[in-house]
Amino acid sequence: MDAEAQPTERDRSSRPARSEKISDTEGPEDRSRFALVSRAAEWLPGGRITLTLLVCLLFLLLFSRFVIQPFEIPSRSMERGLRIGDRVLVNKVAYRFGAEPQRGDVVVFDGTGYFGHADYIKRVVGVGRDHVVCCDKEGRIEVNGRSVDESTFLYPGDSPSAVSFDVVVPEGGLFVLGDHRSDSSDSRDHLGSPGGGMIPVGRVIGRADWIGWPSEHWTHLDRPGVYARVPAADGVHG
Protein backbone atom coordinates (compact mmCIF):
# COMPACT_ATOMS: atom_id res chain seq x y z
CA MET A 1 0.00 0.00 0.00
CA ASP A 2 1.18 3.43 -0.76
CA ALA A 3 1.98 5.08 2.58
CA GLU A 4 2.26 8.59 1.16
CA ALA A 5 -0.72 10.75 2.01
CA GLN A 6 -2.69 11.75 -1.04
CA PRO A 7 -4.32 15.19 -1.05
CA THR A 8 -8.11 15.13 -1.23
CA GLU A 9 -10.10 17.22 -3.65
CA ARG A 10 -10.89 19.61 -0.81
CA ASP A 11 -7.19 19.97 -0.01
CA ARG A 12 -6.30 20.91 -3.56
CA SER A 13 -9.04 23.45 -3.93
CA SER A 14 -8.31 25.07 -0.60
CA ARG A 15 -4.78 26.04 -1.59
CA PRO A 16 -4.27 29.27 -3.55
CA ALA A 17 -3.45 28.48 -7.14
CA ARG A 18 0.17 29.17 -8.12
CA SER A 19 0.69 31.14 -11.25
CA GLU A 20 3.17 29.49 -13.62
CA LYS A 21 3.60 32.64 -15.64
CA ILE A 22 7.05 34.24 -15.22
CA SER A 23 6.68 37.90 -14.47
CA ASP A 24 8.04 40.17 -17.16
CA THR A 25 10.78 42.21 -15.46
CA GLU A 26 12.03 43.78 -18.70
CA GLY A 27 10.93 47.30 -19.32
CA PRO A 28 10.34 48.85 -22.75
CA GLU A 29 13.91 50.18 -22.80
CA ASP A 30 15.39 46.71 -22.23
CA ARG A 31 13.22 45.17 -24.95
CA SER A 32 14.13 47.86 -27.45
CA ARG A 33 17.86 47.42 -26.69
CA PHE A 34 17.54 43.67 -27.21
CA ALA A 35 15.71 44.24 -30.49
CA LEU A 36 18.43 46.61 -31.65
CA VAL A 37 21.13 44.04 -30.91
CA SER A 38 19.14 41.37 -32.73
CA ARG A 39 18.73 43.58 -35.81
CA ALA A 40 22.45 44.39 -35.80
CA ALA A 41 23.31 40.68 -35.61
CA GLU A 42 20.98 39.94 -38.54
CA TRP A 43 22.55 42.70 -40.63
CA LEU A 44 26.15 41.56 -40.08
CA PRO A 45 27.60 38.61 -42.03
CA GLY A 46 28.16 35.88 -39.49
CA GLY A 47 25.43 37.16 -37.20
CA ARG A 48 26.01 37.10 -33.46
CA ILE A 49 29.53 35.67 -33.76
CA THR A 50 30.67 38.64 -35.85
CA LEU A 51 28.92 41.07 -33.50
CA THR A 52 30.64 39.49 -30.49
CA LEU A 53 34.03 39.73 -32.18
CA LEU A 54 33.45 43.40 -33.03
CA VAL A 55 32.46 44.18 -29.43
CA CYS A 56 35.61 42.42 -28.17
CA LEU A 57 37.74 44.36 -30.66
CA LEU A 58 36.19 47.64 -29.54
CA PHE A 59 36.89 46.74 -25.92
CA LEU A 60 40.53 45.96 -26.72
CA LEU A 61 40.94 49.25 -28.59
CA LEU A 62 39.49 51.23 -25.70
CA PHE A 63 41.59 49.26 -23.21
CA SER A 64 44.73 49.99 -25.24
CA ARG A 65 43.80 53.65 -25.62
CA PHE A 66 43.10 54.36 -21.97
CA VAL A 67 44.60 51.60 -19.76
CA ILE A 68 47.43 49.42 -21.11
CA GLN A 69 49.25 50.08 -24.38
CA PRO A 70 52.03 47.96 -25.90
CA PHE A 71 55.12 49.69 -27.28
CA GLU A 72 57.93 48.12 -29.28
CA ILE A 73 61.52 48.94 -28.31
CA PRO A 74 63.19 50.42 -31.44
CA SER A 75 66.77 50.94 -30.24
CA ARG A 76 69.49 49.77 -27.87
CA SER A 77 69.20 52.78 -25.56
CA MET A 78 67.60 50.81 -22.68
CA GLU A 79 69.78 47.71 -22.75
CA ARG A 80 70.54 45.61 -20.82
CA GLY A 81 66.97 45.39 -19.56
CA LEU A 82 65.10 46.20 -22.79
CA ARG A 83 66.26 44.88 -26.15
CA ILE A 84 65.34 45.83 -29.70
CA GLY A 85 62.02 44.18 -30.60
CA ASP A 86 60.81 43.76 -27.02
CA ARG A 87 57.19 44.79 -26.46
CA VAL A 88 56.62 46.59 -23.19
CA LEU A 89 53.20 47.01 -21.63
CA VAL A 90 52.75 50.62 -20.60
CA ASN A 91 50.44 51.42 -17.71
CA LYS A 92 48.59 54.57 -18.83
CA VAL A 93 46.69 55.05 -15.57
CA ALA A 94 49.77 54.89 -13.31
CA TYR A 95 49.91 58.69 -13.10
CA ARG A 96 46.24 59.56 -13.68
CA PHE A 97 44.98 59.92 -10.11
CA GLY A 98 47.41 62.29 -8.44
CA ALA A 99 50.49 60.05 -8.62
CA GLU A 100 53.57 61.28 -10.48
CA PRO A 101 56.65 59.56 -11.93
CA GLN A 102 59.26 58.63 -9.38
CA ARG A 103 63.01 58.23 -9.64
CA GLY A 104 63.81 54.87 -11.17
CA ASP A 105 60.56 54.51 -13.13
CA VAL A 106 60.88 53.53 -16.78
CA VAL A 107 58.50 55.82 -18.65
CA VAL A 108 57.29 56.32 -22.21
CA PHE A 109 56.79 59.95 -23.22
CA ASP A 110 56.06 62.14 -26.22
CA GLY A 111 59.31 63.88 -27.06
CA THR A 112 57.85 66.29 -29.61
CA GLY A 113 59.47 69.68 -29.18
CA TYR A 114 61.96 68.37 -26.63
CA PHE A 115 63.78 65.30 -28.01
CA GLY A 116 62.18 64.82 -31.45
CA HIS A 117 58.90 63.95 -33.14
CA ALA A 118 58.52 60.50 -31.61
CA ASP A 119 57.74 58.58 -28.44
CA TYR A 120 60.72 57.67 -26.24
CA ILE A 121 61.37 55.29 -23.39
CA LYS A 122 63.85 56.27 -20.67
CA ARG A 123 64.50 55.93 -16.95
CA VAL A 124 63.60 58.79 -14.61
CA VAL A 125 66.73 59.91 -12.74
CA GLY A 126 65.52 63.26 -11.36
CA VAL A 127 62.09 64.71 -10.58
CA GLY A 128 60.97 68.26 -9.84
CA ARG A 129 63.46 70.30 -7.74
CA ASP A 130 66.07 67.50 -7.71
CA HIS A 131 69.71 68.51 -8.00
CA VAL A 132 71.37 66.01 -10.37
CA VAL A 133 75.14 66.01 -10.80
CA CYS A 134 77.62 63.92 -12.74
CA CYS A 135 79.77 62.78 -11.41
CA ASP A 136 81.05 62.18 -7.88
CA LYS A 137 84.65 61.13 -7.11
CA GLU A 138 83.80 57.51 -7.93
CA GLY A 139 82.14 58.40 -11.24
CA ARG A 140 78.57 57.91 -10.00
CA ILE A 141 75.57 60.16 -10.59
CA GLU A 142 74.56 62.14 -7.53
CA VAL A 143 70.98 63.16 -6.74
CA ASN A 144 70.34 65.66 -3.94
CA GLY A 145 73.80 64.97 -2.54
CA ARG A 146 73.36 61.17 -2.56
CA SER A 147 75.44 59.00 -4.88
CA VAL A 148 73.41 56.39 -6.78
CA ASP A 149 74.85 52.96 -7.56
CA GLU A 150 73.32 52.13 -10.95
CA SER A 151 75.39 49.00 -11.59
CA THR A 152 72.39 46.66 -11.40
CA PHE A 153 70.76 48.09 -14.52
CA LEU A 154 73.44 49.95 -16.49
CA TYR A 155 74.67 48.31 -19.68
CA PRO A 156 77.80 46.27 -18.87
CA GLY A 157 80.95 48.30 -19.45
CA ASP A 158 79.14 51.65 -19.53
CA SER A 159 79.97 54.46 -17.13
CA PRO A 160 77.09 56.45 -15.60
CA SER A 161 77.91 59.27 -18.04
CA ALA A 162 80.78 60.42 -20.21
CA VAL A 163 79.25 63.91 -20.14
CA SER A 164 79.47 66.08 -17.04
CA PHE A 165 76.36 67.98 -15.94
CA ASP A 166 75.01 69.86 -12.95
CA VAL A 167 71.29 70.60 -13.21
CA VAL A 168 68.28 71.40 -11.09
CA VAL A 169 65.10 69.81 -12.43
CA PRO A 170 62.27 72.37 -12.67
CA GLU A 171 58.99 71.76 -10.89
CA GLY A 172 56.82 69.52 -13.06
CA GLY A 173 59.83 68.29 -15.06
CA LEU A 174 61.81 65.06 -15.37
CA PHE A 175 65.49 64.37 -16.04
CA VAL A 176 65.67 61.08 -17.96
CA LEU A 177 68.50 58.81 -19.10
CA GLY A 178 68.79 55.57 -21.04
CA ASP A 179 70.32 52.54 -19.30
CA HIS A 180 72.74 52.06 -22.20
CA ARG A 181 74.38 55.41 -21.57
CA SER A 182 76.89 55.21 -24.44
CA ASP A 183 74.07 54.52 -26.95
CA SER A 184 71.28 56.75 -25.68
CA SER A 185 70.08 60.19 -26.72
CA ASP A 186 68.53 61.57 -23.54
CA SER A 187 68.42 64.61 -21.27
CA ARG A 188 72.21 65.01 -21.43
CA ASP A 189 72.07 65.65 -25.19
CA HIS A 190 69.48 68.42 -24.90
CA LEU A 191 70.76 70.50 -22.01
CA GLY A 192 71.13 73.50 -24.33
CA SER A 193 67.82 72.93 -26.15
CA PRO A 194 64.44 74.46 -25.30
CA GLY A 195 63.39 72.93 -22.01
CA GLY A 196 67.00 72.20 -21.04
CA GLY A 197 66.65 68.49 -21.68
CA MET A 198 63.80 68.17 -19.19
CA ILE A 199 60.56 66.40 -20.07
CA PRO A 200 57.29 67.84 -18.66
CA VAL A 201 55.36 65.34 -16.57
CA GLY A 202 52.35 66.08 -18.78
CA ARG A 203 54.17 64.54 -21.76
CA VAL A 204 54.46 61.16 -20.04
CA ILE A 205 52.24 58.55 -21.71
CA GLY A 206 52.67 55.98 -18.96
CA ARG A 207 54.96 53.74 -16.95
CA ALA A 208 56.46 50.62 -18.53
CA ASP A 209 55.50 47.88 -16.08
CA TRP A 210 56.05 44.65 -18.01
CA ILE A 211 57.95 43.14 -20.89
CA GLY A 212 55.14 41.29 -22.62
CA TRP A 213 56.90 39.88 -25.65
CA PRO A 214 58.82 37.74 -26.53
CA SER A 215 57.45 35.29 -24.00
CA GLU A 216 60.88 34.10 -22.87
CA HIS A 217 61.70 37.67 -21.86
CA TRP A 218 58.46 38.20 -19.93
CA THR A 219 59.22 40.04 -16.69
CA HIS A 220 58.02 42.82 -14.42
CA LEU A 221 60.01 46.06 -14.55
CA ASP A 222 60.69 46.93 -10.93
CA ARG A 223 61.83 50.29 -9.64
CA PRO A 224 65.45 49.91 -8.44
CA GLY A 225 65.74 50.17 -4.68
CA VAL A 226 68.79 52.47 -4.87
CA TYR A 227 66.52 55.43 -5.60
CA ALA A 228 64.58 54.92 -2.38
CA ARG A 229 67.63 56.12 -0.44
CA VAL A 230 67.80 59.44 -2.31
CA PRO A 231 66.66 62.29 -0.03
CA ALA A 232 63.88 64.62 -1.05
CA ALA A 233 64.87 67.86 -2.76
CA ASP A 234 65.07 70.79 -0.35
CA GLY A 235 64.36 73.41 -3.00
CA VAL A 236 67.47 75.45 -2.09
CA HIS A 237 69.54 74.60 -5.15
CA GLY A 238 69.36 77.06 -8.00
Q: Name the active-site residue from 32, 38, 77, 187.
A: 77
d(CA 52, CA 56): 6
- Say whether 122 is catalytic: yes
Please give the helix or strand (H or E) that residue 37 lies within, else none.
Answer: helix 28-43
- Say whether 21 is catalytic: no
How many residues in the chain? 238
State phi, psi for 206 to the nearest 5 degrees: 170, 180
Q: Name the active-site residue from 13, 23, 75, 122.
A: 122
Q: Collect all residues with Cβ–Cβ distance below 8 Å to 88 and sequence separation of at least 6.
A: 70, 71, 73, 82, 106, 108, 121, 208, 209, 210, 211, 212, 221
In terms of Cβ atoms closer than 10 Å to its own Cβ (0-12, 13-18, 19+), residue 61 is exposed
How many Cα atoms sit within 13 Å of 222 on the Cβ side?
8
With vertex at residue 71, the alpha carbon angle to CA 199 and CA 223, rounded to the nearest 5 degrees, is 60
Catalytic residues: 77, 122
